[in-house]
Chains A and B, each alone.
Chain A
Amino acid sequence: MQLRTRALETILIEKGYVEQAAIDQLIETYEKKIGPRNGAQVVAKAWVDPKFRQWLFEDGTAAIGSLGFGGRSGNHLVALENTASVHNMVVCTLCSCYPWAVLGLPPLWYKSAPYRSRAVADPRGVLRDFGMELPKDTEIRIWDSTAELRYLVVPMRPAGTEGWSEGKLVELVTRDSMIGTGRPKHPGELP
Chain B
Amino acid sequence: MNGAADMGGMHGFGPVVPESNEPVFHARWEGVSFALNMVTGVAKLWNLDAFRFKRESIPPPQYLNLSYYGLWTTTLEQMMLEYGVATPEELAAGHAIQPTKRAPHAVTAADVANMVRCGSPYDRPASAPALFKVGDRVRAKNMHPTTHTRLPRYARGHTGEVVRIVGCHVFPDSNASNAGEDPHWLYTVRFDGRDLWGEDSDPTVRVCIEAWEPYLELA
Could you list which residues of chain A lie within 8 angstroms of chain B, going by C-beta atoms?
1-12, 14-19, 21-27, 29-31, 34-35, 70-76, 91, 93-96, 101, 104-105, 107-109, 111-124, 126, 129-130, 136-149, 176
Contact = CB atoms under 8 A, between A and B. Distances in A.
Contact of B118 (A71, A116, A120): A71
Contacts of A21: 108-109
A147 B55 CA distance: 16
13 contacts: A1-B67, A4-B91, A5-B32, A8-B36, A11-B96, A18-B107, A22-B39, A72-B115, A93-B6, A112-B13, A113-B64, A121-B201, A140-B206
Mostly helix, strand, loop or mixed at chain B's interface?
mixed
B90 interface: yes
A140 B31 CA distance: 34
A105 to B, nearest CB: 6
A126 B22 CA distance: 19
A11 B32 contact: no
Contacts of A19: 106-109
B119 A120 contact: no
B24 to A, nearest CB: 5
Given A17-B107, A142-B206, A1 B70 contact: yes
Chain A to chain B: the 4 pairs with minimum beta-carbon distance, closest first: A93-B8, A147-B210, A72-B119, A27-B31
A141 B80 contact: no
A71 B170 CA distance: 17
Contacts of A91: 8
A16 B45 CA distance: 13
**Which of B8, B38, B90, B170 has most chain A Cβ within 10 Å?**
B8
Given A5-B29, A108-B22, A23 B36 contact: yes
A130 to B, nearest CB: 7
Chain B, interface size category, equals 35 or more
A24 B39 CA distance: 12
A31 B196 contact: no
Given A74-B119, A96-B68, A8 B55 contact: no
A117 to B, nearest CB: 4
Contact of A113 (B7, B96, B201, B202): B7
B139 interface: no
B207 to A, nearest CB: 5
Interface in B101-154: 101-103, 106-109, 111-113, 115-123, 150-152, 154
Contacts of A130: 16, 18
Contacts of B23: 31
B216 interface: no
A112 B16 contact: yes
A95 B100 contact: no
A126 B5 CA distance: 19
A19 B109 CA distance: 7
B108 A22 contact: yes
B208 A143 contact: yes
B50 interface: no
Given A1-B70, A70-B119, A114 B208 contact: no
Contacts of A5: 29, 32-33, 36, 69, 73
B5 A95 contact: yes
A130 B27 CA distance: 26
A124 B123 CA distance: 34
A111 to B, nearest CB: 5
Nearest to B117: A71
B16 A129 contact: yes
A126 B16 contact: yes
Contacts of A15: 85-86, 96, 100-103
**Which of B9, B52, B188, B207 has most chain A Cβ within 10 Å?**
B207
**Which of B31, B93, B95 has most chain A Cβ within 10 Å?**
B31
